[in-house]
Amino acid sequence: MLSAFLFAVLPLSAQVVVVPGESVAPLSLPAQQAPSGIEPNYGAPMDFDVIVVGSGYGGSVATLRLAEAGQKVAVLERGRRHAMGSFPRGEEAFWEPDHGRFGTHNFRDLGNNVGWIGSGVGGGSLVNASIMLRKTDFTGFPAGIDARSLSRFYDRVEDMLDAKPFPVDDPSSPHFNTPKTRALMEAARRLGKKPVMPKLAVLYRENGEPVGTVRANKHGALQQGCRGCGECSLPGCNYGAKNTLDLNYLHRAEKVFGARILPQRETDKIEPLEGGGYRVHYKDPATGEEGSYTAKALVLAAGALGSTELLLRNRDVHGTLTRLSDRLGESYTTNGNFIGFAIGASQPIHPSLGPEITTGLEFDGLDGKGQGFHIFDGSYREPWMVLGRLIGLPTAVVKAIDFNMRTNQALGLFQPEGTLPLLVLGRDRAVGRLYLSNGRLSSSIDTSRNAAYYNRVENELSRVIHAMGAHFLPFPLWHFGRKIEVPHPLGGAAMSDSPFRGVVDDAGRVYGYENLVVLDGSIIPSSLGVNPALTIAAIAERAAEILIAQLQAEGRISPRP
């Protein structure tokens, strides 16, 4: 019924749905050979008005809004398309092109921290837990960015992603009384705290809706309602129940406004053209095939690690973007990411029943202000695979551990239903730097500056876990190796009101360049204390409005003087 209505009201072009295994029509544009040095343009027509590099939150928002405004937009994404049902499992879930793996999960060892990021059309939305939480205090951000001015952009993103709180209290919902949600809510109540019920970008199953029912969302893309399998992150939702960016922003940009989404194009060299515009060189990570495209404007949206690396490489290795701010690489933060485990719970928690994250608790920061840190429920999917990647264990060892744990489980010696990973993020104190070492991205970040923060987090984790009737297992990687996993890397090309303090202005426009923009987690100037996706997208929505107005008024994009 709903799908019939949607099909009746949507424009015809929006009714074309992505089907599993769909491949992109080959571009009619010839791939060109990579020239060296700065290339004269001789007034040749550009391939596109705008090229967007990367298809995560910043990139998807920029793509849709620029395409809507009539720009001819192409998205160059290093990863693949992952249609409903095609998220690879096990080892194949990882993005490791050197080993012939092209999955969605990319672990990047940066030294004493390991970045965990997404790869594929939809970026981090393919691998994340889809929490959409608003930030309230924007101290340290450029003028003009605050909770009030961002409010309508937050509304816009939540509407596009159809983000809603988990209906655990709704007796008519199939998600009513999900055990792990109840367990954490009950722990909050025992500690005298009100549970945080964040909005999730998830299509919940409706009352009486059979599992596996396919319906069109308001953008015309096909989805199924959530079946509560806990696989939002690992391997990623194979049922189209998570509102990933390919099902909303990118879907509309492509099907309604004709944006070209070009997977398997990993960008490296960026050349400013003499007459204006940019030539962007890419390589297919699977075949090694190389080519390039030109555009009048370029939006880098390859994520905090990807965009910072691209800018560093083009400044320091290719020597093409030499006027970038000296602050490039600075303001790298880990959003206070931490983890702890509840084990041996007296009541079954069933960690993998429900979406990956459903509820949490909020704590004040060391400065006494709100949104100091949050503790959320996680799920128990392929933990040994993840641990293996975090500490660099060989595949054979990981498989042996996995086999051992499954055997213990079968013998009743280990019960995952009494186990729950608890995920933490917050306003921490360590601020580091991203830099190139032998052409590869590394970081220096003094996580010992977070000692007071981690101590406080562990004390609260322990209290929450005991209130759940379980035992607290601290994060072994931190205790034995002083290493942390970072699913929320931020900064590197931070926004600021001045080129002496940041790389881009409040709309992501790169200081020192025309028609060059960065819109993703790299421009976030500090740890947020909330999950970053919604704020990255809202800041991109705000920036898109500014960029389009400037393009219409001046025919170019240039940073604030």
Ligand X SMILES: Cc1cc2nc3c(=O)[nH]c(=O)nc-3n(C[C@H](O)[C@H](O)[C@H](O)COP(=O)(O)OP(=O)(O)OC[C@H]3O[C@@H](n4cnc5c(N)ncnc54)[C@H](O)[C@@H]3O)c2cc1C
Q: Report if residue 53 touches ligand X, rule: CB under 6 A.
A: yes
Question: Per-residue b/e over 487-523, b at no fewer than 16 CB within 10 Å?
Answer: bbbbbbbbbbeebeebbbbbbbbbbebbbbbbbbbbb
State the minimum distance, in angstroms, from the CB of residue 387 to ligand X.
13
Neighbouring CB atoms inside 10 A of 401's CB total: 16
| Stretch in the footprint of ligand X (CB under 6 A) among 85-93, 168-176, 322-330, 533-541 | 533-541
Tokens (6 digits) for 477: 């990687």
Q: Report if residue 350 touches ligand X, rule: CB under 6 A.
A: no
Tokens (6 digits) for 124: 């981090």
Binds ligand X (CB under 6 A): choice among 49, 77, 377, 382: 77
Binds ligand X (CB under 6 A): choice among 103, 123, 492, 499: 123
Looking at the Cβ atoms of 357 and 551, the one nearer to ligand X is 357
Contact map string, positions 245 to 284, toward ligand X, x by CB under 6 A: ---------------------xx-----------------
Tokens (6 digits) for 513: 């360049």
Contact map string, positions 78 to 107, toward ligand X, x by CB under 6 A: xx----------------------------
State the minimum distance, in angstroms, from the CB of residue 507 to ligand X.
15
Short-list 89, 165, 90, CA closest to 130: 165
Binds ligand X (CB under 6 A): choice among 117, 237, 253, 312: 117
| Stretch in the footprint of ligand X (CB under 6 A) among 83-91, 129-137, 157-165, 340-348 | 129-137
Q: Report if residue 533 touches ligand X, rule: CB under 6 A.
A: yes
Question: Per-residue b/e over 380-399, b at no fewer than 16 CB within 10 Å?
Answer: bbbbbbbbbbbbebeeeebb
Looking at the Cβ atoms of 118 and 365, the one nearer to ligand X is 118
Q: Report if residue 127 touches ligand X, rule: CB under 6 A.
A: yes
Residue-by-residue DSSP string for 194-223: PPB--EE-B-PPPTTPPTT-EEE-TTS-EE
Tokens (6 digits) for 456: 């406080």
Q: Report if residue 220 touches ligand X, rule: CB under 6 A.
A: no
Contact map string, positions 481 to 500, toward ligand X, x by CB under 6 A: ------xx------------
| Stretch in the footprint of ligand X (CB under 6 A) among 18-26, 122-130, 138-146, 220-228 | 122-130
Beta strands in 369-482 (DSSP E): 373-377, 420-426, 433-437, 440-444, 471-474
Looking at the Cβ atoms of 252 and 389, the one nearer to ligand X is 389
Short-list 541, 538, 511, 505, CA closest to 523: 505
Looking at the Cβ atoms of 266 and 467, the one nearer to ligand X is 266
State the minimum distance, in angstroms, from the CB of residue 500 to ligand X.
24
Q: Are 530 and 425 in contact (CB under 8 A)?
A: yes
Measured CA to CA, the distance from residue 317 to residue 440 in angstroms comes to 10
| Stretch in the footprint of ligand X (CB under 6 A) among 57-65, 255-263, 461-469, 492-500 | 57-65
Q: Report if residue 73 touches ligand X, rule: CB under 6 A.
A: no
State the minimum distance, in angstroms, from the CB of residue 486 to ligand X.
9
Binds ligand X (CB under 6 A): choice among 124, 167, 355, 388: 124
Residues 229-248 that bind ligand X (CB under 6 A): 233
Tokens (6 digits) for 260: 């070209």
Binds ligand X (CB under 6 A): choice among 50, 54, 183, 559: 54
Strand partners, 373: 363, 426
Residues 352-381 that bind ligand X (CB under 6 A): 357
Residues 377-416 that bind ligand X (CB under 6 A): none
Q: Report if residue 508 touches ligand X, rule: CB under 6 A.
A: no
Overall residue count recorded for the chain in this entry: 561
Binds ligand X (CB under 6 A): choice among 103, 174, 228, 303: 303
Short-list 522, 530, 78, CA closest to 303: 522
Short-list 198, 528, 534, CA closest to 361: 198
Binds ligand X (CB under 6 A): choice among 51, 241, 250, 310: 310
Among the residues of 134-213, which ranges form H helices?
147-161, 179-190
Tally the C-alpha atoms within 13 A of residue 123's C-alpha that lie toward its C-beta: 32
- Vertex 433 angle, CA 429 and 434, to 5°: 135
Q: What share of the chain is helix, strand, coil (3-state, %, to 5)?
A: 30, 20, 50
State the minimum distance, in angstroms, from the CB of residue 129 to ligand X.
3
Q: Report if residue 118 touches ligand X, rule: CB under 6 A.
A: yes
Residues contributing to the site for ligand X (CB under 6 A): 53-59, 76-79, 116-120, 123-124, 127-131, 233, 266-267, 301-304, 306, 310, 357, 487-488, 520-521, 531-534, 536
